[in-house]
Structure 1
Amino acid sequence: MACHSHHYWPDVTLEAVQQYWRDAAALADNKWGPLFEEKIPAWQEAVARVLGLSAPERIAIAPNTHELVYRLLSAFDLLRQPLRILTTDGEFYSFARQLQRLEEEPNVRVTRIPKEPYATLAQRFEEELHGGDYQLAYASQVFFDSGVVFPRLLEIAARKPERTEFAIDGYHAFFARPSDLAAVADKVFYTAGSYKYLGAGEGLCFMSIPANCSLRPLNTGWFAELAELENRAERVAYADNWLRFAGATMDYSTLYKGLAIFQLFEREGITVEKIHRYVLAAQRRFLDTMDSAGHPLLNRENLIHHDLENSHGHFFTFDCGDSGRSEQLQEELLSRGVLCDRRKQLLRLGFAIYHPEGETYRRVFVS
């Protein structure tokens, strides 16, 4: 039940990795052609279909979302100009740490809106967004520590001020919750990756880019000028597609794995909507089992939630009170064959399509 952290890989990924090796070994430096002309466009189109994006050529890729987000941050002239950022106090470690470091610079100011109470988060965040002079707003679609969905986040993004760039961390929503970005595709940067719910492993993340983006990232790599590599100009130019935010050389084995999974799910008729319905049913079974068990820690009083049916991701988080209790509970669950993870006093239990129906969750509560 740690599938919110690391989904198990479908079996088709083994052949995909071997095919990547065979292609790289046979083609050597000539592998860049098929990668950039066939594999990457296929990946972009698959991601675009899942998210309702009409311009797959504006989906940048990198080994991790931190690289993409920092490339976005670098476009704001961090070295010289004032930068005001609006975010929440519930963002993932890499972004939270990066902001703490940036705040050491005198020109960077960060406003963090408390995520709780969740019922008023949307109102509080949007009021600050329109009331302040922010160059960047950044928020998670599903919070990594609780699994709670940011209420009405896409609506807020659709109404953002023209002066503010808006970035959404969609990692705990992508390939878990149905997400239609069509209405905000030209307004937001959306980041996610393959490590969690797609089940393709680490090493392949993406960021969709709004239309007519003219930002010039200070952090830029040689991939960004692939179209002009053999006739390189002296000036630094940027393409009007995903290469604007491209970096440099990376391992593409996960690209092969991700494409194999997309193809598998298409053959089997497995959609994000079907996955989400299956997980919702699994969560209901878990809650029914939990309610009848009377567990001292795993109960509704300790469950962090807002709206379990409509505003929750694919994992539950329980506040055990302190890190000692959460660690002890994690060890007890592991002794019964239940794998989960924790963040200090918070214990997280995830749900996936490879959890069979029936009495799957009884061992969580019966020692």
Structure 2
Amino acid sequence: MVAADPIVTASYKHLFQRAIAAAPERLHFAAHSHHLWPDASYLGQLAAWEDGVRLADRKWERVMGAIWPAAQAHVAAELGLPDPATIVFAPNTHELLLRIASALPQRPLRILASDGEFHSFRRQSVRWEEAGSATVERVPLDRIVTAARAGAHDLIFVSQVQFGTGQVFEGVAELAELARPEGPWVVIDGYHGFMALPTDLSAVADRVFYLAGGYKYAMAGEGCAFLHAPPGFGPRPQITGWYAEFDDLSLPPGSVGYAPDARRFLGATFDPSGIYRFVAVRDMLRQEGLSTADIAAHAAALRDGLLAALPIEADLLNPGSPARFVALRSPHAARWKAALEAEDVIVDVRGDVLRIGFGLYQDMRDLNRLIGALRGL
């Protein structure tokens, strides 16, 4: 296939000069996985280090008093959440998942999930089944709302965007109608949705949990996962750290108190540098006037350009999807990935699916090089 007309997009490489200079010949089309970091993230990392040495023990006053609420405000603005206090941060989403599950009193837990969830949840849920801690019903994405309405579940877990196929889940509002503080709870894994496509949770913020983080499209790297926890859901997680009772340190010895907001899901001492990087990147995007919709449009133009000139034969699993990557199924996927990597063209493979992701640091020159490399296959 050959494109009839060239697609022209802007270039934002000036925002990523350090990452590009670190590997100038690399062609990175795994933006759906490890996004290249913008220069602003370097400044955020430096700020975390400088606050640590300048303030020492007193750095936590700045972290929790300024950086943390700034990060909460950015997440709330991105997702249309009415109250930034419903946001809590952790080193990774797995920690937050464990705390959510620990806050549900039923055992074994009755879990409903799609059959395309990421390895972290898949592995943990299988292990819960092995241990007798949970029973798990797994259904195709298009059947999860019907299965949820059938009842008999304590926890409903589904990705906003399926990591393997790029399919987008459109039934969040329908699941939210079922959610109750006593159960079921609805948890949306938003890692492939947050800052990848515009997301408005304002209508369901009082009923659903939402998990995501900075590693992928937020361009902030590791250590900045977050949870939106609706008020009244899970006031006392069993898996808990001392940070979760900051508001209750005056309780009598032996008492286990909890913060009244999302901090009830906190653990213990953490590395705050990821939150610094996230705030720095978000501030940079605001200064540049770049919204998630703008970045998604830039990525969509690159995606459309690739699909219009795709020189390999493969099944496209997510046609018309707003996901920020294309999923191409072929028995040659692993071989293609290895051949591209040998030329310093970075994509990835899940089974027999080749995934090619699009981000702000790519432009049409990169796309043309990618198409040339694919043609060489």
Q: Tell me whether the two structures share a fold, i.e. TM-score over 0.5.
A: yes
Instruction: Report the counterpart of residue 203 of structure 1 in structure 2.
Output: 223
Instruction: Report the counterpart of residue 330 of structure 2 in structure 1.
Output: 320
Question: 1:228 and 2:237 equivalent?
Answer: no
Question: 1:106 and 2:132 equivalent?
Answer: yes
Count of aligned pairs between the two proteins: 344
Provide, for residues 224-278 of structure 1, a one-character-per-residue CA deviation record: whole Å limited to 9, x for no partner: 0122336565221222212110011111111111111111100010000101111
1:124-139 map, 5 Å: 124-139=143-158
- Going from structure 1 to structure 2, the CA distance change for 1:233 and 1:157 (only over 3 Å counts) comes to farther
Q: For 1:146 and 1:106, how far apart are their aligned partners in 2?
A: 30
Of stretches 51-60 and 236-245 in structure 1, the one that deviates more from structure 2 is: 236-245
* Residue 219 (structure 1) shift: 0.4
* Letter of the structure 1 residue corresponding to residue 350 of structure 2: R
- Going from structure 1 to structure 2, the CA distance change for 1:33 and 1:235 (only over 3 Å counts) comes to same
* Residue 89 (structure 1) shift: 0.9
Question: 1:361 and 2:374 equivalent?
Answer: no
Provide, for residues 315-365 of structure 1, a one-character-per-residue CA deviation record: whole Å limited to 9, x for no partner: 1112222xxx32221122223442111122221111111111253532242
Instruction: Report the counterpart of residue 70 of structure 1 in structure 2.
Output: 98
Provide, for residues 197-241 of structure 1, a one-character-per-residue CA deviation record: whole Å limited to 9, x for no partner: 011111110000112234321100011012233656522122221
Provide, for residues 29-66 of structure 1, a one-character-per-residue CA deviation record: whole Å limited to 9, x for no partner: 11111111111000000010001001111101100000
Question: 1:237 and 2:257 equivalent?
Answer: yes
* Letter of the structure 1 residue corresponding to residue 134 of structure 2: V
Instruction: Report the counterpart of residue 118 of structure 1 in structure 2.
Output: none
Residue 235 (structure 2) aligned to one of 215, 218, 221:
215
Q: For 1:20 and 1:210, how far apart are their aligned partners in 2?
A: 30
Question: 1:9 and 2:10 equivalent?
Answer: no
Q: For 1:174 and 1:356, how far apart are their aligned partners in 2?
A: 22
Report the secondary structure of 1:266's partner residue: helix
The root-mean-square deviation of aligned C-alpha atoms, in Å, is 1.6
Q: For 1:180 and 1:226, how far apart are their aligned partners in 2?
A: 30
Q: For 2:95 and 2:43, how far apart are their aligned partners in 1?
A: 28
Report the secondary structure of 2:137's partner residue: strand
Provide, for residues 62-86 of structure 1, a one-character-per-residue CA deviation record: whole Å limited to 9, x for no partner: 00000001110011236xx332111
8 Å Cα contact 1:336-1:363 kept in structure 2: no
Instruction: Report the counterpart of residue 336 of structure 2 in structure 1.
Output: 329
Report the secondary structure of 2:127's partner residue: helix
Q: For 1:133 and 1:190, how far apart are their aligned partners in 2?
A: 22
Q: For 2:330 and 2:282, how far apart are their aligned partners in 1?
A: 37
Report the secondary structure of 1:349's partner residue: strand
* Letter of the structure 1 residue corresponding to residue 325 of structure 2: F
* Residue 99 (structure 1) shift: 0.4
Q: For 1:232 and 1:362, how far apart are their aligned partners in 2?
A: 66
8 Å Cα contact 1:168-1:191 kept in structure 2: yes
Question: 1:339 and 2:343 equivalent?
Answer: no
8 Å Cα contact 1:136-1:166 kept in structure 2: yes
Provide, for residues 117-171 of structure 1, a one-character-per-residue CA deviation record: whole Å limited to 9, x for no partner: xxxx0xx212211212111100000011111112x22222232243311000000
- Going from structure 1 to structure 2, the CA distance change for 1:148 and 1:214 (only over 3 Å counts) comes to closer
Report the secondary structure of 2:217's partner residue: coil
1:35-184 map, 5 Å: 35-77=63-105, 81-106=107-132, 108-115=134-141, 121=142, 124-150=143-169, 152-162=170-180, 163-184=183-204
8 Å Cα contact 2:70-2:279 kept in structure 1: yes
* Letter of the structure 1 residue corresponding to residue 114 of structure 2: T
Greater relative contact order structure (CA < 8 Å, 6+ sep): 2
Q: For 1:24 and 1:346, how far apart are their aligned partners in 2?
A: 43
Q: For 2:241 and 2:128, how far apart are their aligned partners in 1?
A: 22
* Letter of the structure 2 residue corresponding to residue 344 of structure 1: G
Question: 1:303 and 2:316 equivalent?
Answer: yes
- Going from structure 1 to structure 2, the CA distance change for 1:329 and 1:286 (only over 3 Å counts) comes to same
Report the secondary structure of 2:188's partner residue: strand
Q: For 1:353 and 1:161, how far apart are their aligned partners in 2?
A: 36
Gapped regions of structure 2 (runs ≥ 5):
1-28
Q: For 1:233 and 1:363, how far apart are their aligned partners in 2?
A: 67
* Letter of the structure 2 residue corresponding to residue 235 of structure 1: S
Sequence identity percentage:
38
8 Å Cα contact 2:247-2:258 kept in structure 1: no
Report the secondary structure of 1:173's partner residue: coil
8 Å Cα contact 2:100-2:234 kept in structure 1: no
Report the secondary structure of 1:281's partner residue: helix
8 Å Cα contact 2:176-2:186 kept in structure 1: no
Gapped regions of structure 1 (runs ≥ 5):
116-120
